[in-house]
Amino acid sequence: MTTPSGQDGEINIDYANHNRFATDSQGEDGFERSLTGRHIQFIAIGGAIGTGLFLGSGKSIALTGPSIVVVYMLVGAVMFVLMRAIGEMLYQDPTQHSFINFIGRYLGSGWGRFAGWSYWLVLLIIGMTELTAVSQYFVTFFLGFGVNLAPWRWLIEVCTVALILLINLISVKTFGETEFWFAMIKISLIIGMIITGIVMVITHFSYPAHVVQGVAIPAGQASVTNIFQDYQLAPNGWMSFILSFQMVFFAYETIELLGNTVSETKDPRHVLPKAVNQIINRILIFYVGALLAIMAIVPWKMFKPAADGSFASPFIMVFRFAGVNWASALVFFVVITAAMSSMNSLVFTAGRQLYAVARRSHEPKLKALVKVSRHGVPARAIMLSAAIILVSPALSLLPGLPALFTLFSSTSSAVIIVIYVLVMIAHMRYRQSEDFLEDGFLLRGYQVWDRVAIVFFLFVYVTLFFSSETLLPALLGLVWFAGFGTFSLLTERRKG
């Protein structure tokens, strides 16, 4: 067995003993190894389940009917391949604070620079988006009770960032515990909804007509036949079916955040394989199970947009039909929890990503960020990342910038596809390198699966050009790739 190559300032470590990290409570760089298997399992679940399932699944169902389940399974399978590739490289070197580092190691420092800074910026933009969503959820919910919180959105966002920052600065164990309970809340609602659906189907539950969030739903009866009635693979045309792949892909976005927790985990080589392998089971249960339960109760043809173009939350529909009149409050609470969970993970990951970029940078000013606090966290990198996310409330007050920010947010989703492709290429290079650990956490048949994943990611990127909403972001993503990619390669070449 060989040791890592030591490129890009990496520390060479002997991995001959697979239990090397089993008892370490602190890494050689001062980071605390406080995350346990329980934490990692639920961080993996939290990364796979976002607000999209609770709020956006109605639009997904409307786009292509029951076939959306097939799309979720196909996209989920490819994302599982991505996680297995990341998991294999992290198993070989659990000291990495970001899986992005492997791009620099196996594709060269130029691509490492491009991916490192790009991924950090993507995380910040997604963080701003989630922060905006948190305040918007508060405003929308309380407006129904006659309370207008719109003038106080900035305060809601400041308090949210302050809370998330505090959680991340205390200790990595505090972060892990918080994510555990955030995930538990999301899981409880999904399982509760699935069980409710099963009981309603078994008892042939009939419900009267309802108006849910501006959408009129006629009276009906819960039945499995609701799923297959008038079933077609592409009921709204093949273009809608193709576009559903990008929508589902973005629902899985940030599933890879698990790859930034390994270096702070107790016994990572024992915990990592379990956490990654169970991702596919979670996808089947929480996404596929939830969607089937929803469509068994509400016929898929009933999912239509309201007058303002929005779609009602299927979760609110199911619980409202079951007689839970406070369903909106319940789903609101869980959606806020899901958004807070996402914010928590994004700040955690952004801090580690900035730390990793600064550690490999030749810029003296960035070295100040390579400092670990007495609590074993990269405090300066975390605080700077959180501070930039906090710019979001200020931007929303300036004329014209909200629309521009929405454009940047969409562009970030295009950029992350490029990063996923680079990760898969890095994995193939890893397999051909002397770092390859033959008895590690192997992705069997990687020659096929890596290429399948790359083709799929490119396919999703191409679909961005098919919609007027994503056409410009797709073009800007290519401009970023060509412009900043070329700059990064030339900069590193001059330094070399």
Alpha carbon of residue 60 to chain centroid? 17
In a domain, 51, yes or no: yes
Structure-token pair, residue 352? 């580690």
181 to 172, 239, 470: CA distances (angstroms) = 15, 40, 35
Residues 190 and 286 sit within 8 Å (Cβ to Cβ): yes
The pLDDT value recorded for residue 327 is: 79
3-state secondary structure of 216: strand
β-bridge mates for residue 294, sequence order:
none
51-60, 445-454, 485-494: the lowest-pLDDT one: 51-60
3-state secondary structure of 32: strand
**Mean pLDDT over each residue of the chain, to the nearest integer:** 86
Among 176, 150, 138, 143, CA closest to 339 = 138
The pLDDT value recorded for residue 178 is: 94
pLDDT band at 6 (very low <50, low <70, confident <90, very high): very low
β-bridge mates for residue 265, sequence order:
35
Structure-token pair, residue 266? 């107790």
Domain extent at residue 184: 15-491
The pLDDT value recorded for residue 317 is: 84
262 CB burial (10 A radius; 0-12, 13-18, 19+):
buried
The pLDDT value recorded for residue 399 is: 67
The pLDDT value recorded for residue 9 is: 36
Could you identify the residue written with the tokens 């609701």?
226
Among 234, 260, 102, 99, CA closest to 172 = 260
Helix axes 379-389, 109-143, angle to 10 degrees: 50
189 CB burial (10 A radius; 0-12, 13-18, 19+):
buried
How far apart CA 167 and CA 162 sit, in angstroms, is: 9
Q: With 50 as the cut, is the pLDDT of residue 14 above it?
A: no
The pLDDT value recorded for residue 48 is: 72
Highest mean pLDDT among 29-38, 137-146, 248-257, 304-313: 248-257
The pLDDT value recorded for residue 420 is: 97
The pLDDT value recorded for residue 115 is: 97
Count of beta carbons in the 10 Å neighbourhood of residue 195? 11
The pLDDT value recorded for residue 5 is: 39
pLDDT band at 26 (very low <50, low <70, confident <90, very high): low
Q: What share of the chain has pLDDT > 70, as a percent?
A: 92
In a domain, 37, yes or no: yes
Residues 296 and 322 sit within 8 Å (Cβ to Cβ): no
Cite the DSSP H helix spans in 171-313.
Answer: 172-202, 225-228, 238-252, 268-277, 279-282, 289-297
Q: Amino acid letter at 408?
A: F
182-226, pLDDT tens digit by residue?
Answer: 988 988 888 999 999 999 999 999 988 888 777 778 888 999 999
Q: What is the number of structural domains in the chain?
A: 1
In a domain, 3, yes or no: no
How far apart CA 344 and CA 369 sit, in angstroms, is: 20
3-state secondary structure of 221: strand
The pLDDT value recorded for residue 402 is: 61
The pLDDT value recorded for residue 10 is: 40
Highest mean pLDDT among 72-86, 306-320, 322-336: 72-86
pLDDT band at 1 (very low <50, low <70, confident <90, very high): very low
Cite the DSSP H helix spans in 93-108.
Answer: 101-107
168-185, pLDDT tens digit by residue?
Answer: 999 999 999 999 999 889
In a domain, 74, yes or no: yes
3-state secondary structure of 113: helix
Helix axes 172-202, 37-48, angle to 10 degrees: 60
The pLDDT value recorded for residue 141 is: 82
In a domain, 9, yes or no: no
Count of beta carbons in the 10 Å neighbourhood of residue 72? 24
103-112, 164-173, 309-318, 418-427: the lowest-pLDDT one: 309-318
The pLDDT value recorded for residue 25 is: 60
Residue of 25 and 256 predicted with greater confidence: 256
User: pTM for the full model?
Assistant: 0.90
Q: With 70 as the cut, is the pLDDT of residue 86 above it?
A: yes
Among 260, 268, 276, 253, CA closest to 102 = 260
How far apart CA 378 and CA 31 sit, in angstroms, is: 8
DSSP character for 421?
A: H
Residue of 378 and 362 predicted with greater confidence: 378
How far apart CA 304 and CA 300 sit, in angstroms, is: 9
Among 376, 104, 382, CA closest to 265 = 376
Q: What share of the chain has pLDDT > 90, as a percent?
A: 48
3-state secondary structure of 434: coil
The pLDDT value recorded for residue 27 is: 58
Helix (H) or strand (E) holding 166: helix 153-170
Residues 149 and 142 sit within 8 Å (Cβ to Cβ): yes
Residue length, the chain?
496
In a domain, 10, yes or no: no
How far apart CA 425 and CA 444 sit, in angstroms, is: 16
How far apart CA 201 and CA 203 sit, in angstroms, is: 5
Could you identify the residue written with the tokens 């050689």?
28
101-144, pLDDT tens digit by residue?
Answer: 999 999 999 999 999 999 999 999 888 888 888 888 888 888 87
3-state secondary structure of 26: strand
pLDDT band at 16 (very low <50, low <70, confident <90, very high): very low
Q: Give the domain CATH number at 417.
A: 1.20.1740.10
pLDDT band at 11 (very low <50, low <70, confident <90, very high): very low
In a domain, 307, yes or no: yes
